[in-house]
Amino acid sequence: ETGVTQTPRHLVMGMTNKKSLKCEQHLGHNAMYWYKQSAKKPLELMFVYNFKEQTENNSVPSRFSPECPNSSHLFLHLHTLQPEDSALYLCASSQEITGGNEQFFGPGTRLTVL
């Protein structure tokens, strides 16, 4: 595996379900990110992790809970979501969190909340 991988690629869940999104990067990067991409809205940064430590929580509701056990893995735990949470969730990584380090993105998880 190379680059940034995300599983599952598609997820349908009810509002009472609990599920987790997984992201793994094979690039040796130190920073990882979760983004939400809704239709007709700019890409929204949700969380930033640098060397496993959370450095940014962009006013995300508590029904989204991130976890970063090591620099290569990032999870997004979901519980009691709302239909408006349906979106494409993108994971990204970069060598460092500052400067001109480009972010490499995974293919995303298309989430539908019923």
Binding site for another protein (CB under 8 A): 31, 40-43, 45, 48, 50, 55-56, 58, 88, 90, 92, 97-100, 102-108, 110
Q: How far is the CB of 47 from another protein (least distance, A)?
A: 11
- How is residue 43 written in tokens? 């890409």
- How is residue 99 written in tokens? 């400067």
Q: How far is the CB of 113 from another protein (least distance, A)?
A: 18
Which CB atom, from 16 or from 40, has the smaller least distance to another protein? Answer: 40
- CA–CA separation, 90 vs 59, rounded Å? 17
Report whether 58 contacts 44 (CB < 8 A): yes
Which residues is 108 bridged to in the sheet?
none
Which CB atom, from 31 or from 81, has the smaller least distance to another protein? Answer: 31
- CA–CA separation, 33 vs 39, rounded Å? 20
Which CB atom, from 18 or from 26, has the smaller least distance to another protein? Answer: 26
